[in-house]
Amino acid sequence: MSLAKTITLIGAGNVATHLGKAFLNNGFSINQVYSKSIDNAYSLASELNAMPCDDVKFITDESDIYIICIKDDAINDIVEQISFKNKIIAHTSGSIPLSVLNGFNNYGIFYPLQTFSKNKNVTINEVPFCIEANNDETKNTLLDLAKSLSNNVNEINSEQRKKIHLAAVFACNFTNYMYSISEDILNQSNIDLDILKPLIIETAKKIQNNSPKTMQTGPAKRNDDVVLKNHIELLANSKDYQDIYKIITDNIIKRK
């Protein structure tokens, strides 16, 4: 089986930007970049030596693979407008089912499990890719495509992908919110979050080689009543933070 060589990107945001550059760096060519904003399409297309496009009906059928990297709630609307059905098409969403693409013959998921920001480089060959497809040939093409970018490529079905996405909400979105609360608490006493940053990095590093269950520390883990009560009092000016403190603390104590 020969590796597909030409790609159309549907989307021009963070995911499209990082994937597009990675494809280009690994010998693929990008034919078109679609975005509903012509400025965004043009900006990314010019970086990728591709043609910009802001109207779905001008997306041509000349590429081997079409990668959809747009907001979850826009995927369905866009795919319904694509008239040709015989090319491989895949979306990059963690939460949208494979079936959204079942109007096509060959379709799949090409989900990079990473948080992408526009101006921050990501080591693409360490990004876990989650691949799924409606038939073996498409799956193999998408697996090969992912393997040409990353050393961490996984076959993941839709049920597993849902769980991974949910787990990522806890490990990343909610974790970031914990950082946010910390910053708020510190700022109230004119302290910068900087003082906690080494500890935040170390906490993330510690679970790279150990189960987080075995790494749990702190007053809840020790069931240290005095400290727990002091903390609840210190949070007296925020019922929201108090409630979060209590519920997570109770959970940690239960699971001791």
Residues in 175-204 at the binding interface with a second copy, rule: CB under 8 A: 175-183, 185-186, 188-189, 191, 193, 195-204
Q: What is the contact mask toward a second copy in residues 2 to 41, using x (rule: CB under 8 A)?
A: ----------------------------------------
31-64 in b/e form (b: 16+ CB < 10 A) is bbbbbeeeebbbebbeebebbbbbebeebeeebb
Q: What is the contact mask toward a second copy in residues 94 to 113, using x (rule: CB under 8 A)?
A: -x-----------------x
The nearer residue to a second copy, 49 or 157, going by C-beta atoms, is 157
Q: What is the contact mask toward a second copy in residues 122 to 151, using x (rule: CB under 8 A)?
A: x---xxx-x---------------------
Token duo for residue 134: 């409606």
Q: Which of 27, 208, 236, 237 binds a second copy (CB under 8 A)?
A: 208
State the minimum distance, in angstroms, from the CB of residue 105 to a second copy. 27
Task: Check residue 74 for interaction with a second copy (CB under 8 A).
Answer: no
Task: Check residue 235 for interaction with a second copy (CB under 8 A).
Answer: yes
Q: Which of 172, 229, 236, 237 binds a second copy (CB under 8 A)?
A: 172
110-127 in b/e form (b: 16+ CB < 10 A) is bbbbbebeeeeebebeeb
Instruction: For the beta carbon of residue 254, count every other beta carbon within 10 angstroms.
Output: 8
Parallel/antiparallel/unpaired status of strands 106-112 and 65-68: unpaired
Task: Check residue 154 for interaction with a second copy (CB under 8 A).
Answer: yes
Cα separation, 75 vs 77, whole angstroms: 6
Would you say how long the chain is, in residues? 256
Are the C-beta atoms of residues 113 and 164 closer than 8 Å to each other? yes
The nearer residue to a second copy, 26 or 173, going by C-beta atoms, is 173
**Class of residue 156 by CB neighbours under 10 A (exposed 0-12, middle 13-18, buried 19+):** buried
Which one of the spans 17-25, 54-62, 79-87, 155-163 is the region binding a second copy (CB under 8 A)?
155-163
